[in-house]
Amino acid sequence: MQLVAVTLVAVAGWVTVSALLPPPVDPGVATVVAVHDVALGSTLTAADVRVERRQADERPAGALDDVRAGVGQVVSGPVLAGEIITSARFRGATQLAGLAPGFVAVSLPVSDGVLLGTLRPADIVSVLAAGTGQPLASAARVLTTELDASGVLTAGAGGQGHLVVAVTPDEARALAVAMGAAGAPGGFLMAVRG
């Protein structure tokens, strides 16, 4: 009987102490984040990123866990300080990942900086010929927009910015014909699709 009483007291003491101890701290997962703002089109260096520990549920799909995976990559849009770096933030063949086979990326001159500044990767737009309104691509997926870090139109020749979109090869040919030798001096019109 004494043995049972001692055992019950020991179990009660263990339960009490266990209830008072804080739960173990989850150390998190190694996650690459931006040290400071990085402008669109910049090539990441080791000084631009660092590894922090983040909870698994805070990490978006494609989050990098090693700085070496990001160094040397060109970012496809402005990156903010503290932002988690994902593989989707880089220019290159990965931008077409997830799309049906056969899509190609094309760069289009766009003179409407206001609209260009509102577009984000993954937006769907219809591309129309300036002047005629002829539809050239009905559901082009935005890959990148060329704006500077402050969101201002990056002016190229003729004060145009550029929009990189994924289109079918047939749409790419139609866009090339519409662009012509002069390079579409009026740019293209974009109609954002909902």
Contact assessment for residue 151 and residue 117, using Cβ atoms and an 8 Å cutoff = yes
User: Does one domain contain both 102 and 188?
Assistant: yes
Residue 13 forms part of a structural domain: no
User: Does one domain contain both 112 and 170?
Assistant: yes
Chain centre to alpha carbon of residue 103? 19
CATH number for the domain that contains residue 50: 3.90.1210.10
Average the pLDDT over 58-67 and give the result: 88
As for how many domains the chain has, the answer is 2
Tell me which DSSP letter residue 100 carries. Answer: P
- The pLDDT confidence band at residue 7, using thresholds 50, 70 and 90, is confident
The whole-angstrom separation of Cα 38 and Cα 18 is 47
What per-residue confidence (pLDDT) applies to 157? 38
User: Does one domain contain both 153 and 164?
Assistant: yes
Q: Return the structure tokens found at 119.
A: 């577009």
User: Does one domain contain both 121 and 69?
Assistant: no
pTM: 0.50
What pLDDT, in 10s, does the model give residues 118-158? Answer: 888 788 999 888 778 888 998 998 887 764 344 444 444 34
What per-residue confidence (pLDDT) applies to 13? 63
The whole-angstrom separation of Cα 28 and Cα 126 is 42
Q: Return the structure tokens found at 38.
A: 């990085």
Residue span of the structural domain in which 108 resides: 93-192
What per-residue confidence (pLDDT) applies to 58? 85
SS3 53: strand
User: Does one domain contain both 161 and 121?
Assistant: yes
Residue 116's alpha-carbon distances to 33, 125, 154, 159, 167, in angstroms, are 27, 11, 10, 13, 18
Task: Give the residue among 73, 75, 40, 37 at the shortest CA–CA distance from 147.
Answer: 40
What pLDDT, in 10s, does the model give residues 82-103? Answer: 999 988 777 665 567 667 788 8
